[in-house]
Structure 1
Amino acid sequence: MLSKFQNHINQKLSFLKEKKLLLAVSGGVDSMVLLHLLKQSEIGFSVAHCNFNLRGNESDEDENFVKSVCNNLSIEFFVNHFNTKGYADSNKLSIQLAARQLRYNWFDKLIEEEAFDYLLTAHHLDDSVETFLINFTRVTGLEGLTGIPQLNDKVVRPLLVFSRDEIVNYAKENRIDWREDSSNASDKYLRNKLRHDIVPILKELNPNFLNSFQQTLENLQQTQSMVDDASRIVYRKVVEDVENQKRIHLAELKVLPNYQAYLYQWLKPFGFTAWNDIYNLVEAQSGKQIFSEHFRLLKDRDVLILEPIATPSSEAYFVAENQTEIEFPLPMKITNVTKVTDPESSAIIFVDKDSLKFPLVFRKWQQGDYFYPFGMQGKKKVSKHFKDEKFSLIDKENTWLLCSGNEIVWIVGSRADQRFSVTKTTQTILKFELQ
C-alpha cells in the first residue's frame, strides 16, 4: 500500500510535496494510516484534532492518543474543544451536521491563520460508496452520484483510491495503533446502516464491487465534466450578469430542448431544493418567486431574476438644509439655482426650497403612501404608481422616497410631487440631481 500511495501522490497529487499541509486526525484507523503513509513518504504536515465532547472520557482519550503520537513523531499538533450538542440545539441541527460545521469552520480558520495550503482528510473508497448511496436515496443530480471529490478547493483526499479493507490490513501489518469510535457500531445514523447492512450485500453479490464502482465513478465524473462544459456555453447565451443579479432570459431559455437541466445546473449552487416549483416558474405570472435560504428567484415578465435576499430596510437618511452632496443611500448633488434651466428628467427635479421642511428624509416606501404626481391633478397611491409604471418587485424594493416631513417630495428616479414644484412666486430653487 505504501508503494501504491507514493505512486498515486507522484502521478495525481505531486503538488502536495511543496506545500504546507494540515492533516485532520480523529485517531481512527483511516487517519492514523494516512499519518503513517505521509510520514513514511517524507511529506511534511501538521495535525488538527477535534474533541467534540460527545463520548465523555472516550473523547478525551482520543485527544490524548493523537497528541501523544504527534509528540513522539515531532509533529505540530492543534486541538479544539467543541460544545457540539449545545451548537446543534441552538442551530437546530443534527449532531452529525453540527460536528461537520464546527470542524470545517475551525479548519478554515486554522488554514487562514497558520497559512496552510491544503487540508488533508482520510476519506477512502468505501466512504465514497456510502456517499453515493446516501445521495441516491435523496433527490440529486448527476453531481450527487460522482462520489467524494479528491480535490475540492483546499481539501485533498489522498486515500480515495484505497478500500477500508486495504487500510485496516496495512495498519495491522505495520502495527499502527488506532482508536475505535464506539458510535461507529451504532445503526442510529444512515451512513452506519449502509456500512453495516447494504454495502456488505453489494460486495457479496459482486466480489469485485469496489473496483467496478471506482470505474463507474470515473465514467460519471467524465460525464459531469461534459455537462459542466455545455452548461457554461449555454449560460453565456441565456444569462445576463447585472451587478448582484443574474437575469435568465426566458425567450432564449425555452428554445432549449431540455431547459430544466440547465436551470438545475445554474441554480443548484444557490441552495434551491423546490425544483418543480422552479420549473413551473418559467410559465408562472410575473411577480411569483421561489426562495432558498439566502437567495430568491423572481419571475419578472420575460426574465427570471436571481439575487440575494435583501434584509428589509427601516433605515432613514437625513439631509440637512445646507447640504450640497449626498452619498447614501444614493449619490446626489443639491444646488441652489436661480431658474429652471435644464429639461427635467427622471434623474433631476427642481423644487421650491421654502416649501420644504428640513431635515429631509430618504426612506423606503410603505403601504398607504401617496403623493401628488407632478403634471397631474389629485393624489395617487405610490403602489398604484408602481403598478402603472410596471415596476418589478425588485424595482419597488430598491426605490427610495425623498420626503419633507410625512410628505413625499420625489419618488427618486421616477416622479416628483406637484406640491413642491417651482412656481412664479418661488424665491429659492433647489436642484436635486442623481449622479
Structure 2
Amino acid sequence: MFEKLEQELKNIINLENKPKIILGLSGGPDSVYLFLFLNKLAQEDKIELICAHLNHEWRTEAIIDVEFCKNLCAKNNIKFIAGKASELEIAIKFNGSLEEIGRKLRRYFFNKILKQEDANYIALAHHLQDQQETFFWRIIRGTTLKGLSGMKMLQEAYIRPLLNIEKKDILDYLDKNNIKYLIDYTNYSDKYLRNRIRKYVLPALEKVDSRFSKKFLTTLNFLQEEEAFLNKITENNFNIIFKNINNKYTGNLTEFKKLDIILQKRILIYWLDKIKVKFTASNSFLLEILRFLNNPNGGKHKINQDFSIIKKQNNFMVL
C-alpha cells in the first residue's frame, strides 16, 4: 500500500532533493497512518520529517494527545514540535464555528513552523471520506464550482497524499498491524454538521449504491479538470484587463464590462485573492461590487474595514 502512496507523492512533489516535510500529527488514525508512511521515507533518507501538534486547549484529554504524539516521534527519532493555541501571537481574531476556528488556528501554527524550520511542505492526513464530507458540507452551506472541486493533493505548501485512500483501508491497516492511535470522541457528536454528514449522509449513499466512493472520485476529478481550465481562462482575461502600475493592479472598466457575468465574478475573486484582500466570496458580495462597477458614477465601494474599490474615469483599483 505504501508503494502506491509513494508514487502518488512523487506525482505531486519532487523527492530527489530530499524535501523537508512538516506533518500535522494529531494522534488520530489518519495522521498516524501518514506518519508511518512518511517515517518510512525518512528512514530511507528520501525526506526530512518533522511533526507538529497544536493543542487547542478545548478538551481535558488534549494533554494525552500531546504526550501520545511526542512519544511516537521519540520512539522513531523524529523531531516533534508542540504548540498551544493560547500561546500563538495572532494579530486578528478568527471568526466562525469552532471547527472553522480550529482549522484557522492549525493553519496559522503550521505556517509558522514551516517558516521557522525552513521546510518545503506541510503534510495533512485528509482522506477520501474527508473529501466527501467537505463536498456535502459545502453544498449545504452554499459554494461555487471551485468549492465543489474539493481539496487538492498539492495546494501551495500543503500536501495531502491520502486523498484517494478510503478511511476503512487506513483502519484495516492499523488494526491488522496492532498500531495504536487515538480516538477523538467529539467526532461522534451530532453537534457538528461534518459529523452528521459522516454519520448519516455518507453511509446512506454507500447503502444506496456501493459504487458511490469510486464514482465520487471520478466526478471530483472531472470537476477539478474543469476548474483548472476555467482558472486559465480567468487568469488570461485578468492579464488583459489589469495592469500592474506601481505595485497596484488597476483594471480597465471597458474591457471588464465586455465579459460574461460569470467570468466577471471569477476575475473579481482572482483579483482580490492576488492582492491579499480578506473577503468571503458570497454571491451577494460579488453582485454588490458589480453593481458599483456598472454604475456610471465614480466613487468608492467598501470591501472590508481596511480596503475599498476606487472607481475613477475608466479604471478601478483597491486602496
> Please, what TM-score do these two structures have when normalized by structure 1?
0.64
Identity %: 27
Q: 1:265 to 1:142 in 2, by over 3 A?
A: farther
Answer whether contact 2:268 2:286 (CA < 8 A) is retained.
no
Q: 1:166 to 1:152 in 2, by over 3 A?
A: same
1:46-125 paired onto structure 2 within 5 Å = 46-56=50-60, 58-83=61-86, 91-125=94-128
Answer whether contact 2:298 2:312 (CA < 8 A) is retained.
yes
Confirm whether residue 261 of structure 1 aligns to residue 263 of structure 2.
yes
Confirm whether residue 152 of structure 1 aligns to residue 163 of structure 2.
no
Confirm whether residue 162 of structure 1 aligns to residue 165 of structure 2.
yes
One-letter code of the match for 1:5?
A: L
Structure 2 gap segments, 5+ residues each = none
* Cα distance in structure 1, aligned partners of 2:16 and 2:218: 25
Map Cα deviations across residues 206-258 of structure 1 (whole Å, 9 max, x no partner). 211111111111111111111111112222222222224333222222223x1
* Cα distance in structure 2, aligned partners of 1:100 and 1:23: 15
* Cα distance in structure 1, aligned partners of 2:72 and 2:158: 23
One-letter code of the match for 1:214?
A: L
Q: 1:91 to 1:235 in 2, by over 3 A?
A: closer
* Cα distance in structure 2, aligned partners of 1:53 and 1:233: 46
Tell me the CA shift for residue 16 of structure 1: 7.4
Task: Give the length in aligned residue pairs.
Answer: 304
Tell me the CA shift for residue 29 of structure 1: 0.3
Structure 1 gap segments, 5+ residues each = 309-435
Tell me the CA shift for residue 93 of structure 1: 4.5
SS in 2 for 1:297: strand
Q: 1:263 to 1:249 in 2, by over 3 A?
A: farther
CA-based RMSD of the aligned residues comes to: 2.5
Answer whether contact 2:206 2:212 (CA < 8 A) is retained.
yes
Map Cα deviations across residues 185-212 of structure 1 (whole Å, 9 max, x no partner). 1121121111112111222222111111
SS in 1 for 2:294: coil
> Please, what TM-score do these two structures have when normalized by structure 2?
0.86
SS in 2 for 1:15: coil
Structure with a larger share of its residues in helix: 2
**Structure with the greater relative contact order (CA < 8 A, sep ≥ 6): 1 or 2?**
2
Q: 1:181 to 1:17 in 2, by over 3 A?
A: farther
SS in 1 for 2:23: strand
Confirm whether residue 281 of structure 1 aligns to residue 292 of structure 2.
yes
Structure with a larger share of its residues in strand: 1
Tell me the CA shift for residue 287 of structure 1: 1.5
Tell me the CA shift for residue 15 of structure 1: 2.8
Tell me the CA shift for residue 296 of structure 1: 2.1
Aligned to 2:252: 249
1:250-399 paired onto structure 2 within 5 Å = 250-256=253-259, 258-268=260-270, 269=273, 270=277, 271=279, 272-273=281-282, 274-284=285-295, 285-292=297-304, 294-303=306-315, 305-308=316-319
Q: 1:282 to 1:288 in 2, by over 3 A?
A: same
Q: 1:65 to 1:16 in 2, by over 3 A?
A: farther
* Cα distance in structure 2, aligned partners of 1:104 and 1:307: 27
One-letter code of the match for 1:307?
A: V
* Cα distance in structure 1, aligned partners of 2:250 and 2:48: 47
SS in 2 for 1:233: helix
